[in-house]
A and B are shown apart, each in its own frame.
Chain A
Amino acid sequence: MDLLLKNCTIINYNGQSNGHIVINKGLIEDILQNNDNIDNIYASKIIDCSKFIVMPALIDMHVHFRDPGFEYKEDIISGSYAAVAGGYTTCLCMGNTNPAADNTTTIRYMIDKAEKIGLIDLLPYGCVTINRAGEHIVEMGDMLNAGAIAFSDDGSPIMNSEVMRRALEYASTFNTFIATHSEDSNLSANGQINEGIVSTITGLKGIPAAAEESIIARDVLLADLATAHVHICHVSTHNAVELIKWAKSKRINVTAEVTPHHLIFSEDNLLTYDSNFKVNPPLRTQRDIKALFDAIKDGTVDVISTDHAPHNIDEKHIEFENAAFGMIGLQSTIPVLLQFVEEGKINLKDIVKLTSYNPSKILNLQKGKIEKNYRADLVIVDKEMTYIYDENIIKSKNYNTPLFRKTLKGIPVYTIKEGKIVYSLK
């Protein structure tokens, strides 16, 4: 045996159980009952998990590793370390790199670099259109063959509906999907924060909720027209939730994600002009947050993704309007979601469902469950440990998050990928 995890509290998407997890050749070979005799099991490493919980390792469907091109923000190496330290073993990175991931060479470069470090499975999104310009669709077949998992022009929404329609159709030919950053860039032009009470008070230009909602409405209708799968990134408004719920009720092939930061922060945080709260889509209202939690509960939202977006301090510690959009998130998902569990807003099963089981299903991976013959991608979490989230903890190259130097509770102590320990806290 490669690894034996003793006395585990096992969290799956559909239930919680106790037992010993036997891992061999990268797979979960067996799960033994607590009263089974494990004394004569030989394993090269044994971890006593009696103080921890064990979950399927997390899958992040939305990260920015900035590599190639913006390695001063993050690269695939630092991103991989941040991922495993956050409990992730699978990351889907966005293609807004330089050069953009609109070609097989860039896709291969990303995958090879990640494989060389060997900490995570890096599954890159290819761009939908060349140079993310929204005009000509990329060679999707060739890029899938090179290892692209799906396609997205994240951050540069495709405003031409004809291009979007054809991209959806073409992608579905190859049985893959398009992930959309839904935003009407005319409506949101120069916008800084959510349009509403706080934009009125601060004089910062607002981004109306309708900028997001109108394009989500368009994209689900186009997915219907194209009989294609569209994945809506970082849903942030209550009307967006309603639109997705409607689309699902019509059996349109739509999946949706929400970020932890849209669940924990609101526009109220922007009253201080702290650019660490500047994200796109912007932080919304308490009403929207409530709708997002309801959407998690009723299944309208399938996935929690981080939109991990590292930026250098020189791009953040400046005038708000000139500061970059985005915050890092890989290492704060677990403590933030555990806080929601403590507050009774979600339960541990929801965490597994949204961060691992559902993503695995959407991506057709043999992950996301702690069950016999599943991939041994696991995270062992200390729910109780409190710590200062500072430069000693953060593995990213940059610390652009409002949680920086705050006290957090809950942390991965081991992250296991294919039966190998790829991260241990101590």
Chain B
Amino acid sequence: MLFKYKDFISTINLSKEEIFEILDTAKHMKEINKREVKKVPTLKGKTISTAFFEPSTRTRTSFEIAAKRLSADTVSFTSTTSSTTKGETLLDTIKNIENMHTDIFVIRHKCSGAVKFVADNVKAHIVNAGDGTNEHPTQAMLDLFTIREHKNTLTGLNVAIIGDIDHSRVARSNIWAMQKLGINVILYGPKTMLPSDTTPLKCHIAKNFKEAVTEADVVMMLRIQLERQNKILIPSLREYAMYFGLNKTSAKYLKKDAIIMHPGPINRGVELSTEYADCDRSVILNQVENGIAVRMAILYLLGMQKRRTDGSST
């Protein structure tokens, strides 16, 4: 195994080989998910805790199913049911549960860098399930897995990422990983939703929707965060849908074989109109399916690592 990190926090430091190891491991995991008995004893006796300090259904469920299919015991808590509402610090909360002998934590937090902060201060393995506007690395891995499934390759592809890039942890994790793999990423969105300095992203910024998608093998539509106060960033959802959404008018610029992706949950009629969310080219539900396999792979690579460093297998 190449994967040697205590934690899975970010895609920014992953090498091409490490990314492929995760994707290849996930491929094996996907086979397990298709069996009659969808369970292997790999992580039997391990305790995995999902700690979500921000609302989530899909990601938390996905991690829990992934952990259970590897036979780990899972505990989950969200900020509304945990003692963080009683004024306990994030680190205290995690350290308490760590001392109940939790092996792996899956953490989502609204603050960028918060998951790294926890990882730097506890011994348990930490998986980042989304930290603020920074990263969502398992989402990037499942996106890459899904792209590879449909395109049979990753190198040389053109990927368009469209929407609120600046506030998107999905975009950041994907961009860092895609950079490593030689994927050409093109970004598009209203300027209010792009970082003011895009140089570190090393992506081309399209001038309009047409330019963004014309060459794209993959069109990834980002979710507009309705819960966020976006009133200053865009005048209305109506106008956003007209100029930045994928709909009948804009879809005519897509290549015939382009696949449509979305990290979910979809705002139908805003970034993605229903006919394209549900069309043949949409791989959105494949992404969800592959999320389980990819998260099994990550949990496996972390969970098996301890045994390795203990010396029982090298």
Chain A contacts to B: CB under 8 angstroms: 192, 195-197, 199-206, 208, 273, 314, 317-322
Give chain B residues whose Cβ lies under 8 Å from the Cβ of A197. Answer: 197, 199-200
A273 touches B116 (CB 8 A): yes
B113 touches A201 (CB 8 A): no
Give chain B residues whose Cβ lies under 8 Å from the Cβ of A321. Answer: 110-114, 132
Min C-beta distance of B110 to chain A, whole Å: 8
Please name the residue on chain B nearest to A318 by beta carbon: B89
Min C-beta distance of B77 to chain A, whole Å: 17
Asked if B5 is an interface residue, CB under 8 A from chain A, the answer is: no
Min C-beta distance of A386 to chain B, whole Å: 29
Give chain A residues whose Cβ lies under 8 Å from the Cβ of B169. Answer: 203
A200 touches B117 (CB 8 A): no
Q: B196 contacts which of A195, A204, A318 (Cβ < 8 Å)?
A: A195
Give chain A residues whose Cβ lies under 8 Å from the Cβ of B65. Answer: none
Asked if B91 is an interface residue, CB under 8 A from chain A, the answer is: yes
A203 touches B197 (CB 8 A): no
The answer for the CA separation of A318 and B118 in the assembled complex, in Å, is 9
A196 touches B111 (CB 8 A): no
The answer for the CA separation of A196 and B197 in the assembled complex, in Å, is 5
B116-153 interface mask toward A, CB cutoff 8 Å, 1 = contact, 0 = none?
Answer: 11000000000000011111000000000000000000
Chain B contacts to A: CB under 8 angstroms: 12, 89-91, 109-114, 116-117, 131-135, 169, 172, 195-201
Give chain B residues whose Cβ lies under 8 Å from the Cβ of A208. Answer: 196
Q: What are the 7 tightest A-B residue pairs by CB atom distance, in nearest-first order? A: A203-B134, A273-B113, A321-B111, A203-B112, A319-B114, A200-B195, A319-B111
Min C-beta distance of B71 to chain A, whole Å: 33
Min C-beta distance of B295 to chain A, whole Å: 21
Min C-beta distance of A196 to chain B, whole Å: 5
Please name the residue on chain B nearest to A314 by beta carbon: B89
List 7 interface pairs A-B (beta carbons < 8 Å), by A numbering: A200-B195, A201-B200, A203-B112, A203-B133, A204-B112, A321-B111, A321-B113
Min C-beta distance of B130 to chain A, whole Å: 11
Min C-beta distance of A200 to chain B, whole Å: 4
Please name the residue on chain B nearest to A317 by beta carbon: B91
B196 touches A203 (CB 8 A): no
Min C-beta distance of B87 to chain A, whole Å: 11
Contacts A200-B195, A202-B134 hold; do A318 and B90 have CB atoms under 8 A apart? Answer: yes
Give chain B residues whose Cβ lies under 8 Å from the Cβ of A320. Answer: 111-114, 117
Min C-beta distance of B96 to chain A, whole Å: 16
Give chain A residues whose Cβ lies under 8 Å from the Cβ of B196. Answer: 195-196, 200, 206, 208
The answer for the CA separation of A335 and B162 in the assembled complex, in Å, is 49
Min C-beta distance of B50 to chain A, whole Å: 18
The answer for the CA separation of A204 and B169 in the assembled complex, in Å, is 11
Give chain A residues whose Cβ lies under 8 Å from the Cβ of B117. Answer: 273, 318-320
A203 touches B135 (CB 8 A): yes
B134 touches A204 (CB 8 A): yes
Give chain B residues whose Cβ lies under 8 Å from the Cβ of A199. Answer: 195, 197
The answer for the CA separation of A192 and B195 in the assembled complex, in Å, is 14
Min C-beta distance of A188 to chain B, whole Å: 13
Give chain B residues whose Cβ lies under 8 Å from the Cβ of A205. Answer: 112, 133
The answer for the CA separation of A206 and B167 in the assembled complex, in Å, is 11
The answer for the CA separation of A164 and B199 in the assembled complex, in Å, is 38
The answer for the CA separation of A203 and B90 in the assembled complex, in Å, is 19
Q: B197 contacts which of A195, A204, A273 (Cβ < 8 Å)?
A: A195
Give chain B residues whose Cβ lies under 8 Å from the Cβ of A273. Answer: 112-113, 116-117
Min C-beta distance of A115 to chain B, whole Å: 39
The answer for the CA separation of A197 and B114 in the assembled complex, in Å, is 20
Give chain B residues whose Cβ lies under 8 Å from the Cβ of A192. Answer: 112
